[in-house]
Amino acid sequence: MTAPRDSGGPAALVGLLRERGLLGDPAWERAFLRVERHRFVPDVIWAVDADRSDGQLLAVGRDDPYWWQTVHQDVAIATQVDDGSPAGHGGRGRYVTSSASQPSLMLAMLDSLDATEGMRVLEIGTGTGYNAALLAARLGSARVVSVEIDAALAEHARRRLASAGFAPTVVVGDGAEGAPEHAPYDRVLATAAAGDIPYAWVAQTRPGGLVLLPWGNPYSSTGLLRLRVAADGTASGRVLTRAGFMWLRQQRAPTGGWRRYVDTGAAADVSATAVDPGDLLHLASPARFAVGALVPGLCQVVLPAADGSGESTLWLYDGSGAWASVDHVPGADIFTVEQHGRRRLWDEVERAHRWWRRSGRPDRERFGVTVTPESQTVWLDEPDHPIPAPLGG
């Protein structure tokens, strides 16, 4: 399977990563040159259907120029929708359930993993097999184990790995359990996000080893968390940077659209707030990361006004019937709130926002986590400075 010349092949991708100053380690540069991404990306990928406004995804085959224009670019590529059974209109997809991650993000993760020759690595989320191939190219196939929950994806990855000359161990199973039969590992790398960090990943890592994962909550985009495993079986570490990823299957946020969880016709209590909802508009905002850490199960959708005024309404919900809405009017001091249900979601958000302000408006990189067999503690700046207990849920 040869890449057409105009796709640029792996050299084009390496050129992009080099131009951006990301390829500091020559060993990873060699791996990115050797492993051809087009061998791992399936014959059908998924792209947002620009002719429709419903965000559904359209199948794009390898014979479409878009496929080749995309495959050696620094972009994530959706490779599976709706767990393999497209659920949108006319064969379209609704949700991306597997992807070939953005190469620059993969490279940042591989760099942060600090995996060197001789180490054994467990990857969670085999997906296309491309990342497993990069690890195998650097460390040797015998030192790489990868777990994928979706049997069809695992089979595709195995075949593509073999045809590219790699043979890491690909296990079909729930990555939350790790792969104990091949443990211990020097490094665990999750390529699916978790809020609750499976202790198995810590237990299967040697003392001194690292566990790297996209971590966070469904209210905000996730951050790349690096935990160092101690001899007493605990692990602790900080968020390094933002890293948006899909969730482990069993930790997905409620799906199906916000209207499924918000009964807008239900009676609601009306109040006013001085907390500016503008702090919570953007997925990557620091306030949102902190609020999500303190308010369990929180989800949000932002609906901009159609009149071009810049106003919008934030709808907050938890998937169990409670909801709140707050109207954002740019420049205002007071904002109208409505709340419905057992939980007073806006009250919880307000308390969390107050804590965030009093703590000096911390960004995600000031947060860290300590994991023990019994618990997971989120802290600010230092492990002995835990954030307050969740406010509701």
Ligand X SMILES: C[S@@+](CC[C@H](N)C(=O)[O-])C[C@H]1O[C@@H](n2cnc3c(N)ncnc32)[C@H](O)[C@@H]1O
In the complex, which residues of this chain contact ligand X (CB under 6 A)? 98-101, 124-125, 127-128, 130-131, 147-150, 153, 174-176, 191-192, 245-246, 248-249
Nearer to ligand X, 14 or 147 (CB): 147
Nearer to ligand X, 130 or 355 (CB): 130
How near is the Cβ of 276 to ligand X at its closest, in Å? 34
How near is the Cβ of 100 to ligand X at its closest, in Å? 4
Residue 139 burial by Cβ neighbours in a 10 Å radius (0-12, 13-18, 19+): buried
Nearer to ligand X, 126 or 370 (CB): 126
Residue 362 neighbours by CB distance under 10 Å: 17
- The alpha carbons of the chain give a radius of gyration, in whole angstroms, of 22
Which residue in the list 101, 146, 220, 325 is annotated as catalytic?
Answer: 101
Q: Are 308 and 330 in contact (CB under 8 A)?
A: no
How near is the Cβ of 98 to ligand X at its closest, in Å? 3
Residue 172 burial by Cβ neighbours in a 10 Å radius (0-12, 13-18, 19+): middle
Chain-centroid distance, C-alpha 116: 25
Among this protein's residues, is 101 annotated catalytic? yes
How near is the Cβ of 137 to ligand X at its closest, in Å? 13
Nearer to ligand X, 165 or 310 (CB): 165
How near is the Cβ of 173 to ligand X at its closest, in Å? 7
Residue 390 burial by Cβ neighbours in a 10 Å radius (0-12, 13-18, 19+): middle
Nearer to ligand X, 101 or 234 (CB): 101
Structure tokens at 165: 């000359």
- Furthest CA-CA distance within the chain: 63
Q: Inter-axis angle of helices 26-34 and 130-139, to 10 degrees?
A: 130
Q: Inter-axis angle of helices 9-19 and 26-34, to 10 degrees?
A: 150
Q: Which residues are the active-site residues?
A: 101
